Structure 1
Amino acid sequence: MTTETTATIQVYRVWIKASPERIWAAITDPEWTTRYGYAAPVEYDLRPGGAYRSTATQEMKDFAKANGFDVPEIIVDGEVVEADPPRRLVQTWRMLMDPGTAAEPFTTLTYEIEEAKMQPGVHKLTVTHEVTGAPRTAEMVAGTEDSGAGGGWAWILSDLKTLLETGKGFGER
């Protein structure tokens, strides 16, 4: 996996031995999203102007309560800008589970799925997160040690790749 980071645009790439349709489903289908990354279910209305949201898991709620804070039911929200299954998804994105990120403007998240020219059956997933004007969000999704948010996009995409290639995400036995 390669990573490119600037103050306003973060780009993450991972090559996955899976079809574009499986990768697309893993990004947009809650049955998949509960099996990798932070395991939060997603809801997409995959048309321009359609709603996007991700909801808190019981594990997230329990962790928050044990540590003296609350997590809202909807932890990330946004709107679909463009959907071209199974190749491209552009959406707005705002993290609501942290007051600092919730106060920032919506950011733009783009998923692009392309055939890897070097190997049949392998596809490149590029995630571009435009975080202009959202420094706390940029820090959290980059997975910096100071963010307190875990591994960010690099960790999520590594887990997604593992799930699609092995049938099990990091947290599954």
Structure 2
Amino acid sequence: MSETTQVYRIWIKATPEKIWAAITDPEWNSRYAYMAPAHYELTKGGSFHGTATADMKAFAAANGFELPDTIMDGEVLEVEPPRRLVQTWRMLMDPSTAAEPFTTVTYEIEDARMQPGVCKLTVTHELTGAPATAAMVAGTEDSGAGGGWAWILSDLKTLVETGKNFVE
């Protein structure tokens, strides 16, 4: 097994509370990136799961494969609203990623020292023993997964700052 860690950092003109809601509230997180609502039980040991949308299921059917209702799952390991969330994470949409071990995602929200009203969001994804998941979340061309974390976080930033996502 090899250790693989991916770190993504963006600055968002918003409060920590608004960024936290965009990550953890399905009313928000279903509005950006892949539009799949993610549900959190925000207590240590709480559950995490993302659900497939009707559009995702239709795309899968049109391309000859079945998509499970639950497309991501995991467990909340640490929760310190609105600053830090650590969770396990597994992608269930693809058999190769579903067969890999759970990975760990850490979200950290900090006030940007250089600019009032701006926060730094750092996402660290520890991907030990999960090469298919690492390729998928990196958004590599051969993963077939789109833009991965870079896409997700760019769209999150756009939505939080403008009220609209990339497709609106």
Query: Do the structures match in fold with TM over 0.5?
Result: yes
Shift of 1:7: 5.7
Q: Kindly report the root-mean-square deviation, in angstroms, between the aligned alpha carbons of the 2 structures.
A: 1.0
Q: What's the counterpart of residue 102 of structure 1?
A: 98
Query: Among 148, 158, 162, which residue is 1:166 paired with?
Result: 162
For the residues of structure 2 that align with 1:57 and 1:66, how far apart are their CA atoms?
14
The DSSP-based 3-state class of the residue aligned with 1:133 is coil
Alignment coverage as a number of residue pairs: 167
Q: What's the counterpart of residue 3 of structure 1?
A: none
The DSSP-based 3-state class of the residue aligned with 2:149 is helix
Do residues 146 (structure 1) and 142 (structure 2) align? yes
- 8 Å contact from structure 2 (residues 15, 118) kept in 1: yes
State TM-score, norm by structure 1: 0.95
The runs of at least 4 consecutive aligned structure 1 residues that moved more than 6 Å come to: none
The DSSP-based 3-state class of the residue aligned with 2:128 is coil
For the residues of structure 1 that align with 2:163 and 2:43, how far apart are their CA atoms?
29
5+ long unaligned stretches in structure 2: none
Q: What's the counterpart of residue 132 of structure 2?
A: 136
Q: What's the counterpart of residue 79 of structure 1?
A: 75
For the residues of structure 2 that align with 1:43 and 1:164, how far apart are their CA atoms?
19
For the residues of structure 2 that align with 1:134 and 1:27, how far apart are their CA atoms?
23
Q: Which amino acid aligns with 1:20?
A: P
5+ long unaligned stretches in structure 1: 1-5
Query: Among 109, 112, 118, which residue is 2:114 paired with?
Result: 118
Q: What's the counterpart of residue 70 of structure 1?
A: 66
For the residues of structure 1 that align with 2:30 and 2:102, how far apart are their CA atoms?
23
For the residues of structure 2 that align with 1:151 and 1:59, how far apart are their CA atoms?
18
Shift of 1:89: 0.1
Q: Which amino acid aligns with 1:35?
A: R
For the residues of structure 2 that align with 1:103 and 1:135, how far apart are their CA atoms?
11
Q: What's the counterpart of residue 48 of structure 2?
A: 52
